[in-house]
């Protein structure tokens, strides 16, 4: 029983944090930045592709390509 209670507590905490993350996530300007953001939270490439409704190859290309330097 204790394990189930712990899992439920963790789910509540994740849901509260998820709301804050969605606000930030929706403010990201490009698909590439959204891909990198989800990847930083441990999402797999296939999960990211499904969530954003894009091809797996696009996700892979973004993640293996280094970020360019910011414009001055």
Tens digits of pLDDT across the chain (72 residues): 555 554 444 444 445 555 557 888 899 999 999 999 999 988 999 999 999 999 999 999 999 999 887 766
As given in the structure block, the two tokens for residue 51 are 């969530």
51 with 38: CB under 8 angstroms?
A: yes
Q: Would you state the pLDDT for residue 3?
A: 53
The domain segmentation of the chain, as residue ranges, is 2-64
The residue among 1, 72, 62, 70 whose CA lies nearest residue 32 is 62
Q: Would you state the pLDDT for residue 11?
A: 43
């Amino acid at each position: 029983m204790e394990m189930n209670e712990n899992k439920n507590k963790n789910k509540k905490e994740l849901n509260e944090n998820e709301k804050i993350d969605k606000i930030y996530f929706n403010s990201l300007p490009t698909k590439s930045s959204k891909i990198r953001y989800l990847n930083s939270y441990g999402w797999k490439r296939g999960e990211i592709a499904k969530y954003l409704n894009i091809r797996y190859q696009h996700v892979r290309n973004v993640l293996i390509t280094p970020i360019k330097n910011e414009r001055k």
